[in-house]
Amino acid sequence: MNPIDPQLPPGDPLVMLGLLASAILFAVGIVGFLSRRNMITMFLCTELMFQGAGLAMISYGRQHMDLSGQVFVIFILTVAAAEAALALGLVVLLYRRKETLSAEAWKELAES
Amino acid sequence: MIAAPAMLSSVLALAEGPLDAHAAPELRWAGLALLLPLISGVLCLLCGWMKVRSKLPAALTIAALGGAFATILRLQGAVGETPVVINLFDWISWTWGDGSRFHGFTANVDLYIDRLTVFWMLFVTGLGTLIALYASEYMESDVGKGYTRFFGAVSIFLFAMGCLVMGGNLVMLYLGWEGVGLASYLLIGYYFTKPEAVAAAKKAFIVNRIGDLGLALALFLIWQCYGTVEYAALWKAIEAAPASSEWTAQAIPWLLMLGAFGKSAQLPLYVWLPDAMEGPTPVSALIHAATMVTAGVYLIARMFPLFIVNPDALAAVAWVGGLTALLAATIGMAQYDMKRIWAYSTISQLGYMFLGLGVGTTFGASYHVFTHAFFKALLFLTAGAVMHGFAGQLDIRKLSGLLKVPGFRLVSLLAVLGCFWLAAFPFTAAFFSKDEILVSAFTAKDERVHVLGWIGLVVAALTAYYTFRVGFRVFFGPVKYEPGDEHHGHDDHQDHGHDHGHAHGSHGASAAHGGHGHHGEFHPHGPRWAIRVPLVLIAVGAMLAGWPSYRTMLNHGEPNWVKTQVAQSSAYQGVAAESHGSHDDHAAAPTAAEGEHAHADHGHLVLGMDAHTAVGRLGSLACIAGILVSLYLHLINRGAADALRRTLMGSIATRWIVVGAERKWLVDEFYDWVIRLPLRLVANILSAIDELLLDAGIVNGIGALPAAFGRLFRPLYGGVVQGYAVTMAGGVALVAAWVIWIWLRGAN
């Protein structure tokens, strides 16, 4: 559409594959997150969703012939690593309080 | 007579406007009288900040006030017949439009120095110094925070009083007027942990506020009518257009009067002064007897050119003064608290001063202020010394024969002397000043006020009675005393009057109070030098206050010193021409014009005698009669006083006299019902509206809205993380579906 923006023709197989994989990763992540009660598993599921989103970015980057998508993902991975350390630390603290990893144990934080 | 040409020139000078400071180099230090108390006030503040725990604040204050007194003494020598305006610095100066008379407002920090100013400041600073010295001992049990606060407030008071009296315009006067009100409030509420003292302080402040409103409005109207608030320009403007019949000009004296009645405790607004006795006694002596309460008299005397053109206003002043004198005297007869009796006598004497102003003798009023300042300060200070020594005892039924208590002989002697002055015993200073006022009342041009002369004579008899009721009960008779319930933290009970107090007190009622202190019995301690010296000096001052009259009496032809002081000021502008003039021996009249009037006035006869002779004789008679009645009822046969009270109480027809006088004619209760109760009702209604409608309804109602809204959505947050995740994912899915739907529609 934009003449300055070079684009692969629609239906590039690698892009399609990447997008499909990203959709699958995201769906697996969301289903896992919704169905499990173990906080570490739930955290891993969020990581899966994360990576799904990252893969979608890389795929679109290829579609648009642009490296920004990949650069972005490098940054996201860095931030995700830091965030993972933080989240696991939180999980450890929560475990120490209740001697269980179940998210059900923290229901009392509800509004009502 | 010799003074006549000089006087004429001074009148001319008054009209032409005052000299400036360059013309009078001796006067350029006048500002010190204001500056020194201000500095000592600031230093006291510093002392409080640095937590000084010595008598340093007292020393600072005494030094500053002494300096101010010395400055005023120097001024007394230097001030001439023409007023001098000394500009300290420029303060307010606005002009608009073409900047002509009504298009500008100037109020600089000026001092207006004429003889009335100096006369007034003379006893203000002099008594201030002596009373500060007295207080340095009296307040010594509070050394530390309270001591600093006390002397700081005294310094502020003297500064404000200086502003009021010496200020060159009405704005400065108003500043000082409010300043003395503030100092009075701070000092009445000195014992701020005592609820009565706090209530009294608030009462004084609020009642004064009503008067201050009058003064403020008068100030506005003066500017509106005369275009200036500076004395020098104001006198010129009044002279140019003396009596405007517009209501604004007519209202000015009435509003000024309201201010004066508030500050000087006159009839509708006098109720604060008796309660003001909750303050420490030196304060009662300085502020609520000798100086501050005379500010109203000063105001009217200073503004006399505005009053002289309004005979109705003058008559009102006279009537209010006369009735206040009568009412306060009747209340004073039936009180038992020594300080309270002196407070009512102060109101009564102030009533005399206003009576004097109202009948046109600014000289008589100022003279009475002068003599009253000394003897009333003396009476209060001796009462304070007694109170100090007897642990706060002031009930005249529980003190007797103090003349014979060692350590109190001097105090008692001086108190009895003070009683003679207050009773206006013949040939004391107050006798002459009161005489001056009553003669003017009898000879006033305005027929409506003549009856006030008779009221004044009745009050003179009542005054003599209640004064000596205290005198005979407390200082004469058998030695007998009970201590009050305040125990000063003094350790010097042992060395002051210890043995003697023991011996004498033991046959009194004090044995009944054996549990007092650790000594097993109460030992009154006599005052030391810092109380004795001021007492003696003030007594000497009270004696000397009569000096001008003695001189006039002894060598005819010599004008009364006070009269020359008052005459060469605005207080006499127009008096000679308008009023009845002088009824004094005419030789004493400071102007030739007045002397002629004096001749004409000899037509006034009272009981077939010349007014002067008649009042002198009747006044002496009234005084002596009062003293004799008091002598019988309160010294020779004290049982008779109680029997008389019982008899009066026994009959319905006379019961009201006793109950009324003892309960202060229920004026406080009347104000409670008529003013405070409705106000409190309105306040309660408004408070209820505030609490129920504004606070509970509007403020809390709006605050409750978000909470109620939140409660709607609260069930969505059940605490299951997956529930939130589903909501979120569903939301995202919905948004995505919506976007896709839009996109598909757009694509078609």
Instruction: Write out pLDDT tens, residues B330-381.
Output: 999 889 999 999 999 999 999 999 999 999 888 999 999 999 999 999 999 9
Q: Which of A30, A106, A111 sits opposite B717 (nearest CB)?
A: A111
> Quick check: A34 and B725 CB within 8 A?
yes
Q: How would you classify residue B84: left for phi > 0, otherwise alpha for psi between -120 and 50, otherwise beta?
A: beta
Which chain B residues are closer than 8 Å to A106 by Cβ?
719, 721
Which chain A residues are closer than 8 Å to B721 by Cβ?
42, 103, 106
Q: Which of A33, A42, A108 sits opposite B719 (nearest CB)?
A: A108
Q: What is the CA radius of gyration of chain A?
A: 18
> Quick check: A42 and B721 CB within 8 A?
yes
Q: How many angstroms separate the CA atoms of B681 and B269, rounded? A: 22
- CB-based contacts of B1: which residues, under 8 Å, 6+ apart? B557, B587, B592, B595
Q: Which residues on chain B place their C-beta less than 8 Å from a C-beta of chain A?
A: 714-715, 717-722, 725-726, 729
> Quick check: A107 and B729 CB within 8 A?
no
Picking from B383, B473, B476, B468, the residue whose alpha carbon sits closest to that of residue B420 is B468
Is it the case that residue B511 has pLDDT exceeding 50? Answer: no
Q: Which of B714, B722, B725 sits opposite A112 (nearest CB)?
A: B714
Indicate the pLDDT class of residue A27, thresholds 50, 70 and 90: very high
Are B48 and B152 contacting, i.e. CB atoms less than 8 angstroms apart? Answer: yes
Q: Which CATH architecture has domain A13-98?
A: Orthogonal Bundle (1.10)
Which chain A residues are closer than 8 Å to B731 by Cβ?
none
Residue ranges of domains in chain A: 13-98
> Quick check: A107 and B718 CB within 8 A?
yes
Q: Which residues on chain A place their C-beta less than 8 Å from a C-beta of chain B?
A: 30, 33-35, 37, 42, 103-104, 106-112
Are B288 and B349 contacting, i.e. CB atoms less than 8 angstroms apart? Answer: no
Query: What pLDDT is attached to residue B341?
Result: 93
> Quick check: B720 and A104 CB within 8 A?
yes
Instruction: Write out pLDDT tens, residues B600-643.
Output: 444 566 666 788 888 888 899 999 999 999 998 888 888 888 88
Query: What pLDDT is attached to residue B65?
Result: 94
> Quick check: B722 and A111 CB within 8 A?
no
* Residues spanned by the domain of B728: 720-748
Tally of domains in chain B? 3
Q: Could you tell me if B698 and B728 lie in one domain?
A: no
Instruction: Write out pLDDT tens, residues B109-165.
Output: 889 988 899 999 999 999 999 999 999 988 888 888 889 999 999 999 999 999 999
- CB-based contacts of B38: which residues, under 8 Å, 6+ apart? B155, B159
Query: What pLDDT is attached to residue A2?
Result: 60
Q: How many angstroms separate the CA atoms of B377 and B388, rounded? A: 16
- Strand-pair partners of B84: B19, B113
Q: How far is A23 from chain B (nearest CA, A)?
A: 13
Tokens of B184: 């009075």
In chain B, the percentage of residues whose pLDDT exceeds 70 is 86
Is it the case that residue B488 has pLDDT exceeding 60? Answer: no
Instruction: Write out pLDDT tens, residues B193-242.
Output: 999 999 999 999 999 999 999 999 999 999 988 888 999 888 888 888 76
The answer to whether residue B450 sits within a structural domain is no
Tokens 């009405």, residue located? B170
Q: How many angstroms separate the CA atoms of B68 and B36, rounded? A: 6
Instruction: Write out pLDDT tens, residues B253-286.
Output: 999 999 999 999 998 899 999 999 988 999 999 8
Tokens of B232: 């020098």
Are B469 and B633 contacting, i.e. CB atoms less than 8 angstroms apart? Answer: yes
Pairing mode, if any, of strands B84-95 and B19-20?
A: parallel
Picking from B86, B87, B103, the residue whose alpha carbon sits closest to that of residue B95 is B103
The answer to whether residue B346 sits within a structural domain is no
**Last residue of a domain, which of B257, B287, B309?**
B309
Picking from B225, B284, B283, B281, the residue whose alpha carbon sits closest to that of residue B256 is B225
> Quick check: A34 and B729 CB within 8 A?
yes
Q: How many angstroms separate the CA atoms of B464 and A26, rounded? A: 109
State mean pLDDT over B60-78: 91
**Last residue of a domain, which of B266, B290, B309?**
B309
Q: Which of B719, B726, B729 sits opposite A107 (nearest CB)?
A: B719
Query: What pLDDT is attached to residue B704?
Result: 92
pTM (global) more than 0.90: no
Indicate the pLDDT class of residue B103, thresholds 50, 70 and 90: confident
Query: What pLDDT is attached to residue A1?
Result: 52
Which chain A residues are closer than 8 Å to B726 by Cβ?
34
Q: Could you tell me if B241 and B262 lie in one domain?
A: yes
Which chain A residues are closer than 8 Å to B730 by Cβ?
none
The answer to whether residue B193 sits within a structural domain is yes
Q: Could you tell me if B683 and B725 lie in one domain?
A: no
Report DSSP state, residue A8.
P
Helices (H), B423-544: 429-443, 450-470, 498-505, 529-544
Tokens of B276: 């003001």
Q: Could you tell me if B170 and B220 lie in one domain?
A: yes
Q: Could you tell me if B156 and B110 lie in one domain?
A: yes
Indicate the pLDDT class of residue B563, thresholds 50, 70 and 90: confident
Q: How many angstroms separate the CA atoms of B83 and B345, rounded? A: 34
In chain A, the percentage of residues whose pLDDT exceeds 70 is 95
A contact test, residue of B713, B722, B728 with most A CBs within 10 A: B722
Q: How many angstroms separate the CA atoms of B488 and B748, rounded? A: 102
Are B310 and B290 contacting, i.e. CB atoms less than 8 angstroms apart? Answer: no
* Residue B523 three-state SS: coil
Comparing B541 with B720, the larger pLDDT belongs to B541
Picking from B353, B368, B345, the residue whose alpha carbon sits closest to that of residue B320 is B353
The answer to whether residue B89 sits within a structural domain is yes
Let me know how long chain B is: 748
B contact test, residue of A1, A91, A112 with most B CBs within 10 A: A112
Residue of A nearest to B725 (CA): A34
> Quick check: B718 and A103 CB within 8 A?
no
Q: How far is A40 from chain B (nearest CA, A)?
A: 13
Query: What pLDDT is attached to residue B13?
Result: 43
ipTM of predicted complex: 0.81
Which chain A residues are closer than 8 Å to B729 by Cβ?
30, 34
Q: How many angstroms separate the CA atoms of B720 and B710, rounded? A: 19
> Quick check: B721 and A30 CB within 8 A?
no
Is it the case that residue B388 has pLDDT exceeding 80? Answer: yes
Picking from B111, B121, B68, B106, the residue whose alpha carbon sits closest to that of residue B87 is B111
Q: Which of A34, A42, A110 sits opposite B718 (nearest CB)?
A: A110
Instruction: Write out pLDDT tens, residues B521-561.
Output: 677 777 888 888 999 999 999 888 888 888 888 877 677 88
Average pLDDT score, chain B: 83
Query: What pLDDT is attached to residue B202?
Result: 93
Which amino acid does the sequence have at A85? A
Angle of helix B429-443 versus helix B547-554 axis, rounded to 10: 70
Indicate the pLDDT class of residue A97, thresholds 50, 70 and 90: very high
Angle of helix B338-358 versus helix B429-443 axis, rounded to 10: 40
Comparing B393 with B678, the larger pLDDT belongs to B678
The answer to whether residue B5 sits within a structural domain is no
Are B59 and B154 contacting, i.e. CB atoms less than 8 angstroms apart? Answer: no
Which chain B residues are closer than 8 Å to A53 by Cβ?
none
Q: Which of B718, B719, B729 sits opposite A30 (nearest CB)?
A: B729
The answer to whether residue B244 sits within a structural domain is yes
> Quick check: A112 and B715 CB within 8 A?
yes
Q: Which of B717, B721, B725 sits opposite A112 (nearest CB)?
A: B717
